[in-house]
Amino acid sequence: MIIVWILIGLILLAMTVAVVDTRILGVKRYSAAELAVTGDAQAVGTVRVVVASDLHCTRFGSKNRRLIDLIAAQRPDLVIVAGDVINSRPSDTEYSKEFFDGLKASGIETVYIFGNHEQKLSLIGEEEFNAYVNELGSHVRIVNNDTFVFKGITIKGLLIPLRMYRDKLSNIETYFKATELIDSFEDDGNYHILVAHDPTFAPMYREIGADLIIGGHLHGGIIRLPFIGGLISPRHRLFPRRTKGLFEEGKGKLLVTSGVGWHALPFRFLNNPEICVLEVPAVKAGD
Ligand SMILES: [Fe+2]
């Protein structure tokens, strides 16, 4: 009998941790030293970038005020939104407008790359989605397979073909070539950031030549286990690799954020929602 009570207690404790974890917004910081990859080249200055990803229509406070205020409180020079702001319902565009309007009202310059959910929605209602994207484009810089230069940083957004989110890696290798979608970075002396929603394929982005690749999508593995990491991926794979944090990737780095919201499974465990604050070492001083 006592074992039953211990089990019930453990289950209640786990549920409490999950509920609390899911609602606590955290800030994960990365210093210029952590993000520097150029050996002895010195940065002239730093640019503060906030990364927010995978909101999935999750609200923190009325009109998402807590999230927007937390982003604004970091005093960022730029916000990068790395995809899946919405789910795939046509009505989700209202949520998206509310979020981006909130950033605009805070006077924050914003760059946005689509995730798989924006792409899915674009297939469901093409006309409405295009109208929404056009309206958004008046105050948000959308960088789907495009480039944006900002204060010593060159940012490229890679729009990952939708089928890659479902396909087997061995199939993907036969048809995916990143440089057919976007040109490699030029040697312009800037710090080079590639934003690509799914970091699973980061080794396949290497020839683009980024100093830093930014991705989300994996939600930190939803449930995080001490000493092990994330438990499950959106592909329903157990123990996926590199679901949260900063990693070496070729000659550069890979930053994976566990994101802000949740989808499918409506909770997170030992894996609180996060925004990331990056002190990007912009403009190399030369060799
Ligand atoms: Fe995603």
CATH 3.60.21.10 fits 2-284, yes or no: yes
For residue 141, how many C-alpha atoms fall within 13 Å in the half-sphere facing its CB?
Answer: 16
Which CA distances in Å does 224 have to 60, 64, 197, 230? 22, 25, 20, 4
Residue owning tokens 């990952």: 160
User: What token pair was written down for 239?
Assistant: 């123990």
220 alpha carbon to ligand 1 midpoint, in Å?
A: 12
Contacts of 44 (CB under 8 A, 6+ apart): 152, 282, 283, 284, 285
* pLDDT for residue 284: 67
* pLDDT for residue 50: 98
Cβ pair 284, 41 in contact under 8 A: yes
The separation between the first and the last C-alpha atoms of the chain, rounded to the nearest angstrom, is 71
Domain boundaries, the chain: 2-284
155 alpha carbon to ligand 1 midpoint, in Å?
A: 20
82 alpha carbon to ligand 1 midpoint, in Å?
A: 9
What's the alpha-carbon Rg for the chain, to the nearest Å? Answer: 19
Contacts of 90 (CB under 8 A, 6+ apart): 121, 124, 125, 128, 129
46 alpha carbon to ligand 1 midpoint, in Å?
A: 29
116 alpha carbon to ligand 1 midpoint, in Å?
A: 5
30 alpha carbon to ligand 1 midpoint, in Å?
A: 23
232 alpha carbon to ligand 1 midpoint, in Å?
A: 14
Contacts of 99 (CB under 8 A, 6+ apart): 55, 64, 67, 68, 85
22 alpha carbon to ligand 1 midpoint, in Å?
A: 18
218 alpha carbon to ligand 1 midpoint, in Å?
A: 7
Provide the residue-wise pLDDT of the chain in tens; the chain has 287 residues: 777 777 776 676 666 666 666 678 999 999 999 999 866 567 788 999 999 999 999 999 999 999 999 999 999 999 999 999 999 888 899 999 999 999 999 999 999 999 999 999 988 877 888 888 888 988 899 999 999 999 999 999 999 999 999 898 889 989 999 999 999 999 989 999 999 999 999 999 999 999 999 999 999 998 999 989 999 888 888 999 999 999 999 999 999 999 999 887 777 888 999 999 999 998 865 54
217 alpha carbon to ligand 1 midpoint, in Å?
A: 4
131 alpha carbon to ligand 1 midpoint, in Å?
A: 22
114 alpha carbon to ligand 1 midpoint, in Å?
A: 9
115 alpha carbon to ligand 1 midpoint, in Å?
A: 5
